[in-house]
Each structure stands twice: as C-alpha cells, then as structure tokens.
C-alpha cells in the first residue's frame, strides 16, 4: 500500500484545491486543525510519525497580515518554525517537502519602471508576516531536504476569506467602496496554482521519487501573468461578477469604487507598492505557464467552487 501524501492546510484556499487534485492519483491525508494544531509543534511531529508520509505538502500559514503585527509569536511559529520542523522531518525520512510562500517577502522598491520580481532578487520584507514567511523559506533551504518552495501572489477564489469574496460581500451592502490603487501585484486563482503544482508533482512522481525533487529543489514563483492594482482588480471583479452563476451579487447593485492611497487606509502592517512576480523559472523548469490574471479571474467566476 502506498504511503500517503500529508497535506497541511487542506481547508485553505490552495490546500482545498490541491487536496482534490492530488487525491485523484495518490492517497492524501489532510488533518483538520482540531486534529493537528500548527501552533503546537509537538502535535505536528507526532502526527507525521504516525502517518509515515511519502511526501509532505505545507499549504498552511498564518496569513492575516495585519494580525501578525499584533501576534508575531504565533506568526513566527506557524510560518517560520513549523516549516523548519517539516524540513527536518523530510530530511530525516528522505522524502520531499512542498511549501508555499508569498510575494510579501519583497519590499516593492523597484523604481519608476518596475519589472516583475525573479527568484534571485533579494528579499526585504516590510512586515511581520513577510519576515515570518521568509524565515520559513530560509529554514527549508538551510535544512535542504528535497524541496519545492512556491511563492505566489494575492491568492483569490470563491471560498474562504480573500479579496474577491470580501469585495463581493461589501458590494452587496455598500454604495461606496474604497480600494487602494497604489499597491501593484499579480492576483492568482487558487485553482490555477493547485493545478500547476499537481502537474509538477505528478510529472516528477514526487511521492515515489525524492531524487527527482532533489534535482529541481529550490524556490519558484508561481503567479498569474501581468500586474494590476487592487483598484484595477476590483473594477474587473464588479464588472464580471454579476454574470457568474456562483457569486451572490444582485444585478441591480452598482456600488461606486473610489481609488484611495495606502496612506488613507488604516493598515496596521506596511505593504510594498509593487510585488508582481515573474514565473519564467517555473515555466523553464516544469513547462508551466499560468494565464494572465484577467483570464484567471474570468475562469474563477465561471467555475464551480471546490
């Protein structure tokens, strides 16, 4: 009997989608939070020793950027220390580790004519969340099991808490919505990420072949092509959402979007102004090309939620 893939964060945006993709060809265990609390490292270690996985996938994180400023200890534990533990477990077992990180490891200071960040660009996070995620990346790279770290950007979908769903909720009850227009990134559909990662792991036969993962180990950006501000993304969401069979936005609702600066919004954590990612390395290494963010949004709004 095949040893399972253990997926942490299986109810999150990427994790939910990835669990369905992986489960179509390999047994997957995705322990819920009440079974394995990632803020309690001993529970993680115990679970892995019982599960005896063939591959570990970490799609979990403390993702509330502003809350991380007030609870740095938990953010650092979940985003920084747990990846170290998972890397040590993977190294000791000679199995692969897949981990997801973020565009917020960068500071956004790219000048007047910015180019999307590449993997070799120096990270310099501006907030606790970004620093905690960078610590997790560094811990995995230092421990160096067979590993793939995928940085993505502004993940959205039709489930959970994300910008798309929050905007739709606001549009149903507000006539005016303020949206920042000076933060540029690459909004990426959770299902597009899951499909890409599943394809990579299946092609590598990752649960059976840590050697294949070892040969490709490293950090890869995996984000939508193109870049847009939160305001620009919101404009397209509200223009397309009424036609979606899965979004509850009354056709008669026409809220006014108002572009504001980041300084006008009460963020607790500092945000970079530009974090678009180039996914060229993933395309070169794995033949994976994610569509532009506009196409991903359109596909998301017409696709049944997982």
Q: Per-residue confidence of the chain (306 residues) as pLDDT tens digits?
A: 689 999 999 999 999 999 999 999 999 999 988 889 888 888 989 999 999 999 999 999 999 999 999 999 999 999 999 999 999 999 999 999 999 999 999 999 987 778 999 999 999 999 999 999 999 999 999 999 999 999 999 999 998 889 999 999 898 888 899 999 999 999 999 999 999 999 999 999 999 999 999 999 999 999 999 999 999 999 999 999 888 888 877 666 678 999 999 988 888 999 999 999 999 999 999 999 999 999 999 999 998 887
Q: What is the structure's pLDDT at 292?
A: 97
- The verdict on whether 129 is a catalytic residue reads yes
Instruction: Report pTM.
Output: 0.95
Residues in Cβ contact with 162 at an 8 Å cutoff, skipping those fewer than 6 apart: 13, 155, 156
Q: What is the structure's pLDDT at 255?
A: 85
- Helix or strand or coil: residue 31? coil
Among 129, 220, 231, 274, the active-site one is: 129
Q: What is the structure's pLDDT at 250?
A: 64
Instruction: Give the Å distances, CA to CA, from 127 to 69, 71, 144, 270.
Output: 7, 12, 26, 6
Q: What is the structure's pLDDT at 251?
A: 63
The residue with tokens 């945000």 is 271
Q: How many CB atoms lie within 10 A of CB 124?
A: 14
Q: What is the structure's pLDDT at 22?
A: 97
Burial bucket for residue 171 (CB in 10 Å: 0-12, 13-18, 19+): buried
- Tell me the per-residue pLDDT of 117-174, one tens digit each, with 9 for 90 and over: 999 999 999 999 999 999 999 999 999 999 999 999 999 999 888 999 999 989 888 8
Domains and CATH numbers, the chain: 5-161+187-225+276-292 (3.40.50.720)
């Amino acid at each position: 009997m095949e040893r399972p893939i253990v997926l942490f964060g299986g109810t999150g945006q990427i994790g939910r989608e990835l669990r369905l993709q992986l489960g179509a060809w390999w047994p997957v265990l995705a322990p819920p939070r009440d079974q394995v609390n990632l803020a309690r490292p001993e529970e993680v270690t115990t679970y892995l020793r019982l599960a005896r996985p063939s591959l570990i996938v970490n799609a979990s994180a403390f993702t509330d950027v502003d809350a991380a400023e007030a609870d740095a200890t938990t953010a650092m534990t979940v985003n920084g220390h747990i990846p170290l533990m998972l890397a040590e477990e993977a190294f000791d077992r000679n199995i692969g580790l897949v981990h997801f990180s973020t565009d917020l490891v960068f500071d956004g200071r790219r000048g007047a004519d910015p180019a999307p960040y590449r993997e070799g660009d120096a990270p310099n996070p501006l907030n606790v969340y970004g620093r905690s995620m960078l610590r997790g990346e560094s811990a995995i790279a230092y421990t160096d099991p067979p590993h793939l770290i995928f940085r993505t950007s502004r993940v959205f979908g039709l489930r959970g808490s994300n910008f798309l769903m929050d905007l739709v909720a606001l549009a149903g009850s507000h006539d005016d919505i303020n949206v920042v227009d000076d933060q540029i990134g690459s909004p990426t559909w959770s299902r597009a990420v899951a499909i890409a990662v599943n394809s990579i792991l299946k092609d590598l036969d990752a649960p059976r072949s840590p050697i294949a993962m070892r040969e490709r180990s490293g950090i890869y950006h995996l984000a939508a092509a193109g870049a847009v501000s939160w305001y620009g993304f919101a404009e397209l969401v509200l223009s397309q959402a009424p036609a979606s069979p899965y979004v509850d936005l009354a056709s008669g609702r026409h809220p006014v979007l108002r572009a504001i600066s980041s300084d006008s919004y009460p963020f607790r954590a500092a945000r970079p102004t530009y974090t678009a990612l180039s996914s060229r390395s993933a395309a070169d290494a794995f033949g994976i090309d994610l569509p532009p963010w506009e196409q991903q949004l359109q596909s998301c709004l017409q696709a049944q939620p997982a």
